[in-house]
Structure 1
Amino acid sequence: MTATAPVVAPAPTTGAVRVSVARGYRFEVVKLVSQWRIRLLVLACWSAPALFVAGVSQQSTLPADTLFGRWMLATGWAGPLVILGFSGTWALPLLTSVVAGDVFASEDRLGTWRHLLVAVRSPRRIFAAKALASLTVILLLVVGLAASSTVGGLLAVGNHPLVGLDGHPLSPGDAAAKVLLAWACVLAPTLALAGIGLLGSVALGRSPMGLLLPTVVALAMQLAQMLPLPVAVRVSLPSWAFIAWNGLFTSPAQLGPLLIGIAVSLVWAVTATALAYLLFLRRDFTNLTDDASGRRAVTAGLIPLAALVGVTVAVVASTTGATGSGIAQDKVQRSLATEFAHLYRMQTKQLNRPDVTEAQLKATATCNKGSVRVAAEGPGNDWRCVVSWHLPDVEATGTAIYQLDVTSDGRFVADGDGPKEVNGYFLVRTPTGDAPNPLWQFDGNVTLLSTSKG
């Protein structure tokens, strides 16, 4: 058995031109956008959302089970929010997998590491160029999703006011600013998934799991968000930022959970990218048959990220005092009463009745979960609420019944159960014809953290 000397990248000779990060970055961007699948993704992200929003806006049935879906016929600003909800669940994890999850593994499949090392002469600059190039392409795809859905919605429906998640109307300018801010907020969890993609691409090499890692991690986090886990655990996951943008559409805005989600996502992005960088620098490029180590992927990738979850959960729990599910009876009652008051005023304008204010209505809600014997807390579709309000110069108290389906992330759907004159029918007769009844069925949001009021 004879020992062979390892083959290393030749050291730069005197007078050799060093390939800068900027030059390597341009080369990697060109290499990425020259791939047919990346071109197809760019085309789809910049055209498909507009076609979808415009197509749905011409239909009589709407995706009412999607947040803001029931408003797609009323304003063009609902379309980009529907696309945003879909993107956070499916599109963005898949995009980061295809781009960041393959940026290093493609060199393993093609066997081009030696050529790249000889040309660039620096693993550090190679990593920086590839990471920045993948980030650029991902940002291009995200901007395409946002721009296309916005243009499609405005052209198909128009620049009309949007109704927030607490029932208050948003002017077109305010709606535009918040839609743009919501898309900007999901860049943080997208960067976290991109960092996980870089880590998987470096640690697992040509293995298909490296390409699928961001999607698998995103699906696992989405499953965790649906389980009855403590609110401190859900808020401590990067996937929370894909949900917390809902708080922008209440008044006052629920900024606490959103800022926590963004901070956690950025910490994940930095940590995963740093781990990928360290693994890349320690890699032996001279061994063409060993492009990754399963043990190294676990010890340098999985264990640090699992430890990061524990640290973030401890920090969030200690700083916010969050316990349990975060969905309590008083929060549900307060959110429902506030939204009902706003939507009641909207219905009043539709029917040309004398205007009233929220202070005059004095709307309150009384809710229980299943029965009075069951603790009124936690998610479920068995919430039953009675809303009461008062009108000026009217002695009788108005009441309306709602069935609530509250999910673990704080979103609820309120379904009117009478009386028919208020919320028992999906249309109301206005002087200009039938119009959707805003009190029949609506989406709302319960703040999970007691310190989250903007």
Structure 2
Amino acid sequence: MTKGRRVPVTRACRFELVKLVSQWRIRLLVLACWIVPALFVAGVSQQSTLPVDTLFGRWMHATGWAGPLVMLGFAGTWALPLLTSLVAGDVFASEDRLGTWRHLLVAVRSPRRIFVAKVVASLTVLLVLVAGLAVSSTVGGLLAVGNQPLVGLDGHLLAPSDAAGQVLLSWVCALAPTLALAALGFLGSVTLGRSPIGLLVPILVSLAMAVAQMLPLPVAVRVALPSYAYISWNGLFTSPQQLAPLLTGVVVSLVWAVVATALAYVLFVRRDFTNLTHDGSGRRAITVGVLPLVGVAAVSFAVVAATTSTTGSGIEQDKVQRSLATAFAHLYRMQTDELHRPAVTEDQLKVTATCSKGHVQDHAEGPGNDWRCVVSWHLPGVQTTGQAIYQLDVTSDGRFVADGDGPKEVNGYFLVRTPNGDAPNPMWQFDGNVELLDTTSKG
């Protein structure tokens, strides 16, 4: 019997893409991702109460560029793991439940082409969904608030064009951990067969990694997880940019994506499609799927630990003091402009910070809400040293919220009286970021 002609990969990809888009849940997801974020960001930006517990949430009244960053923080925790589960976590298992593998093999005549087509179609849909979240939230923020400068995590002001570039780059970097979750979805879908548990693999893995990020684990362990790339984009909004944690998170995510996809491919092409009762590849497949990823995590941890001098949590007294002093100096200049006072520079202010944690005065370290700092600065021609007190809540990922505790004229009240009326006080409460790795880019 003459062997039939195999279907080209491009045709197989188009076929799988049409199959995905024809599903009502995929169409609903696409519609939601391109409409809901704009409505959400625009609605929140008009409210009197802002999500100040979310990074850049306190600036949603001031600039439209804060909205897509707030959406990115939410998406990295909840939306993107859910989307990868619904798209990638069921792309192979659905054929098992419907019993259509034999028909698909007759049509395409190559398990390898089937695998490639399903992966490409799934990633294409995911790219459309992520693009919808980014574009929609950006449009909603700009229409509701406007194209205004954005305050970075060290207090420096980003021009609208710079903010636009950093927001775009942040969303692009978030694609790396999304690819890793999608690859885990492929692996779960191939490994567990018709079992619906495969659909939950990306969500369960994401939740486990999110919990790990909140635990007091060594920083090298947390950076070696793909989920860290959902956090480390905040390093783009400091000066100089904290690129080492971001690049590490992206590389780790891509390695996970390649390894998990390769494992799914090997298991898929070795499958016996003549077995109509196939319900997953059994214990051997789970072992083959899990142990290599554990090995990747171990190697990633070893590499990160060997390439940085940071130990423990990475949150150290000197780092906290430097980050707070830098942010205060930038924000002091912003407040000076609001009050129409003579301009000063950071070099003239010579801002320093002295911090303690609980009862620990020297070599304090670790996350917690018991950091207390005294910031000191000097004004040209003034003999007296200015001082302000801040209570800091530092999280395990290096983000801190500085809450002003006096004096009232500087940071003790959320409004300042300007010649044009009351205005928000940028020094009352603000977000900052402590770089966990000792490899800050000097460029």
Class of the TM-score when normalised by the shorter of the 2 chains? over 0.9
1:209 is displaced (CA, Å) by 1.4
Q: How does 1:201-240 map to 2 (within 5 A)?
A: 201-240=189-228
Normalised by the size of structure 2, how large is the TM-score?
A: 0.98
After superposition, where does 1:97-246 map in structure 2 within 5 Å? 97-246=85-234
| 4+ residue segments displaced more than 2 Å | 372-375
1:247 equivalent in alignment to 2:235:
yes
1:34-73 mapped onto 2 (5 Å cutoff) = 34-73=22-61
Matching residue's letter, 1:34: S
Equivalent of 1:411, from 391, 394, 399?
399
* Matched residue, 2:73: 85
Partner of 1:328: 316
Does structure 1 retain, via aligned residues, the 8 Å contact 2:182–2:257? yes
Please say if residues 189 and 242 of structure 1, whose CA atoms lie closer than 8 Å, have aligned partners that are also in contact.
yes
Is the CA contact 2:240–2:440 (under 8 Å) kept in the aligned structure 1?
Answer: no
Q: Deviations over 1:172-203 (max 9, x none)?
A: 00000000000000100000000000000000
- Partner of 1:370 in structure 2? 358
Asked whether the equivalents of residues 369 and 375 of structure 1 are also in contact (C-alpha less than 8 Å), the reply is no
CA distance, structure 1, for counterparts of residue 208 and residue 362 of structure 2: 31
Is residue 359 of structure 1 aligned with residue 347 of structure 2?
Answer: yes
- Quick check: 2:316–2:363 contact (8 Å CA) kept in 1? no
Q: Which of 294, 298, 305 lines up with 2:293 in the alignment?
A: 305
How far did residue 451 of structure 1 move?
A: 1.2
The structural deviation recorded for 1:61 is: 0.8
Task: After superposition, give the CA deviation of every residue in 1:100-130 in whole Å (9 maximum; x if it has no partner).
Answer: 0010011011000000011111000000000
Give distance in 2, aligned partners of 1:297 and 1:338: 52
1:285 to 273, 285, 298: 273
Deviation of 1:80 (Å): 0.2
Q: Which residue of 1 aligns with 2:435?
A: 447
**What does 1:379-394 correspond to in 2, within 5 Å?**
379-394=367-382
Distance 1:270 1:372 in 2: 45
* Counterpart Cα distance in 1 of 2:158 and 2:68: 15
Whole-angstrom distance in 1 between the partners of 2:19 and 2:440:
44
Give the share of equivalent positions with the same residue, in percent: 79
Report the Cα offset of residue 205 of structure 1. Answer: 1.1
Structure 2's unaligned 5+ residue stretches are none
How far is 1:293 from its partner?
A: 2.7
User: 1:428 Cα deviation (Å)?
Assistant: 0.8
Aligned partner of 2:414 among 426, 446, 452: 426
Which string of whole-angstrom CA distances, capped at 9 and with x for unpartnered residues, describes residues 357-403 of structure 1?
A: 00000000000000236751010000000000000110000000000
SS at match of 2:387: strand
Greater displacement, 314-323 / 28-37: 314-323
CA contact (8 A) 1:203 1:296 kept: no
Which residue identity lines up with residue 188 of structure 2 in the other structure? Answer: G
Matches of 1:253 and 1:407, distance apart in 2: 20
1:452 & 1:287 partners in 2: Cα distance? 55
Deviations 1:269-313 (A, max 9, x none): 000000000000111111111231341332111111111111110
- Name the CA distance, whole Å, in 2 between partners of 1:321 and 1:363: 27
1-side partners of 2:120 and 2:147: how far apart? 36
> CA-atom RMSD, angstroms?
1.0
Q: Distance in 2 between matches of 1:395 and 1:322?
A: 39
- TM-score normalised by L of structure 1: 0.96
Following superposition, the deviation at residue 255 of structure 1 comes to: 0.4
Counterparts of 1:453 and 1:379, CA distance in 2 = 24
State the partner residue of 1:5.
Answer: none
Question: Which consecutive residues of structure 1, in runs of 5 or more, have no partner in the other structure?
Answer: 1-10
User: Partner of 2:278: helix, strand, or coil?
Assistant: coil
SS state at 2:89 partner: helix
> Partner letter of residue 384 of structure 1?
R
- Tell me the number of residue pairs that the alignment of Structure 1 and Structure 2 aligns: 442
In 2: Cα distance, 1:404 partner to 1:372 partner: 14
- Post-superposition offset of 1:413: 0.3
AA partner of residue 147 (structure 1)? V
